[in-house]
């Protein structure tokens, strides 16, 4: 089988939300598909109402196929400081027309302020590796791990776009969605992430700098987080760009358009180029002259993060069968 689903960007492309149907009859929630984590958790009837702010709720009591996993709990914290926790059900979960009849659905009984204030985000659907799942006493498989063997090919693809809806495909590669070859690189899943190594980068029209950048392909992270040395080089090319200690981030003039940023993939010379305009995020001054930078340092994380800023410049194949990533321009 194969499937596909549209995913829509929130403002400034900070996240992409995808309709997912849970339970019988189906309860449609809009989830943040996140290749950087492996829990499927949702706002629910068990989320204290003072922590709910417009989100849709999964109500297991209204699903004839919901089964409570007694004594099972989960608790997750993300690198940006956000967190959530709760209890666990098993229920039917349909994404892109593909149904897993017995998927662990983690109902939140606690969510941090970042999630409460994100009104359109009803939860996360992790597409990392199962080893990252936080359910106790027994870790649960992701939706993709559960559907994989039904798929024509054990893969899914991400085609995120700047300021417009994109697509997640399951089980097949849409040749019309990319331009030129797909370059594949091996993935090291030992830390549960889609971890790969880029052999280099280029700033604007500059020459490729050969250096290894080890990072994760993470649809659930907004920005491109890179080694500080590279980030300093990038913003040094932009008059007026500066590190804003108050924001704890690099900022740059909202105009003119900043230089493109390219990263290499594989040993066949494939390069993904991020247009400079993708690097301009929200204006941080009321007079709107300085903008938040889409490239920031990965300091303290231990690896780089190829988040949405990078992913929306590419067609990306997440190959669960061969544990590899495919990158193509589009």
Ligand X SMILES: Cc1nn(C)c(C)c1CC(=O)Nc1ccccn1
**Total residues binding ligand X (CB under 6 A):** 11
Distance CA(144)–CA(46), nearest Å, equals: 25
Backbone angles phi, psi at 29, to 5 degrees: -120, 155
- Give me the DSSP letters along 154-173: SEEEEE--SSS-EEEEESS-
**Residue with Cβ nearer ligand X (24 or 112):** 112
| Residue of 37, 44, 92, 198 marked catalytic | 198
| Nearest alpha carbon to residue 111 among 78, 137, 79 | 78
| Binding segment toward ligand X, per CB under 6 A, in 22-30, 63-71, 76-84, 236-244 | 76-84
**Residue with Cβ nearer ligand X (66 or 305):** 305
First and final CA of the chain: distance in angstroms? 25
Distance CA(66)–CA(59), nearest Å, equals: 9
Distance CA(186)–CA(199), nearest Å, equals: 12
Distance CA(127)–CA(112), nearest Å, equals: 21
Q: Is residue 78 within the footprint of ligand X (CB under 6 A)?
A: yes
Burial 120-154 (b: 16+ CB within 10 A, else e): ebbbbbbbbbbebbbbeeeebbbbbbbbbeebebb
| Binding segment toward ligand X, per CB under 6 A, in 32-40, 83-91, 153-161, 235-243 | 32-40
**Residue with Cβ nearer ligand X (146 or 221):** 221
| Binding segment toward ligand X, per CB under 6 A, in 31-39, 135-143, 166-174, 232-240 | 31-39
The answer to whether residue 85 is catalytic is no
The distance of closest approach from Cβ of residue 296 to ligand X in the complex, given in angstroms and rounded to an integer, is: 8
Q: Is residue 79 within the footprint of ligand X (CB under 6 A)?
A: yes
The pair of structure tokens assigned to 133 is: 């799942």
Taking a C-beta distance cutoff of 8 angstroms, is the pair 329, 266 a contact? no
Q: Is residue 80 within the footprint of ligand X (CB under 6 A)?
A: yes
Q: Is residue 53 within the footprint of ligand X (CB under 6 A)?
A: no
Q: Is residue 82 within the footprint of ligand X (CB under 6 A)?
A: yes
**Residue with Cβ nearer ligand X (57 or 76):** 76
The distance of closest approach from Cβ of residue 184 to ligand X in the complex, given in angstroms and rounded to an integer, is: 24
The answer to whether residue 198 is catalytic is yes
**Residue with Cβ nearer ligand X (75 or 330):** 75
The distance of closest approach from Cβ of residue 67 to ligand X in the complex, given in angstroms and rounded to an integer, is: 27
Q: Is residue 301 within the footprint of ligand X (CB under 6 A)?
A: yes
**Residue with Cβ nearer ligand X (8 or 322):** 8
Beta bridge partners of 20: 29
With 0-12 / 13-18 / 19 or more C-beta atoms within 10 angstroms meaning exposed / middle / buried, residue 267 is exposed
Interface residue with ligand X, options 123, 220, 266, 326 (CB under 6 A): 220
Distance CA(194)–CA(215), nearest Å, equals: 8
Q: Footprint of ligand X on this chain (CB under 6 A)?
A: 34, 36-37, 78-80, 82, 220-221, 301, 305
Question: Which active-site residues does the annotation give?
Answer: 34, 198
């Amino acid at each position: 089988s194969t499937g596909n689903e549209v995913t829509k960007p929130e403002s400034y492309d900070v996240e992409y939300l995808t309709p997912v149907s849970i339970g019988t009859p189906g309860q449609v929630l809009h989830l943040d598909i996140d290749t950087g984590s492996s829990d499927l958790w949702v706002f629910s009837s068990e989320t204290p109402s003072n922590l709910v702010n417009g989100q849709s709720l999964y109500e297991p009591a209204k699903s004839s196929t919901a089964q409570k996993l007694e004594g099972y709990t989960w608790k997750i914290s993300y690198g940006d400081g956000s967190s959530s926790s709760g209890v666990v059900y098993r229920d039917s979960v349909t994404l892109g027309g593909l149904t897993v009849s017995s998927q662990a659905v983690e109902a939140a009984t606690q969510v941090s302020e970042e999630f409460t204030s994100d009104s359109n985000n009803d939860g996360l659907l992790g597409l990392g590796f199962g080893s990252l799942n936080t359910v106790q006493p027994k870790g649960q498989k992701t939706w993709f791990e559960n559907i994989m063997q039904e798929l024509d090919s054990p893969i899914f693809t991400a085609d995120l776009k700047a300021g417009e809806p994109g697509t997640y495909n399951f089980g097949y590669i849409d040749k019309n969605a990319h331009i030129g070859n797909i370059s594949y690189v091996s993935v090291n899943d030992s830390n549960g992430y889609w971890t790969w190594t880029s052999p280099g980068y280029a700033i604007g029209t500059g020459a490729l700098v050969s250096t290894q950048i080890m990072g994760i392909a993470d649809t659930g992270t907004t920005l491109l987080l890179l080694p500080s040395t590279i980030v300093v080089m990038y913003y040094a090319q932009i008059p007026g760009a500066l590190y804003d200690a108050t924001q704890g981030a690099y900022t740059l003039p909202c105009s003119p358009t900043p230089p493109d940023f390219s990263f290499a993939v594989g040993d066949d010379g494939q390069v993904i180029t991020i247009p400079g305009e993708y690097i301009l995020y929200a204006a941080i001054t009321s007079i709107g002259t300085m903008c938040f930078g889409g490239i920031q340092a990965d300091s303290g994380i231990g690896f780089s993060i190829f988040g949405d800023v990078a992913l929306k410049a590419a067609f990306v194949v997440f190959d669960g069968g061969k544990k590899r990533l495919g990158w193509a321009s589009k």
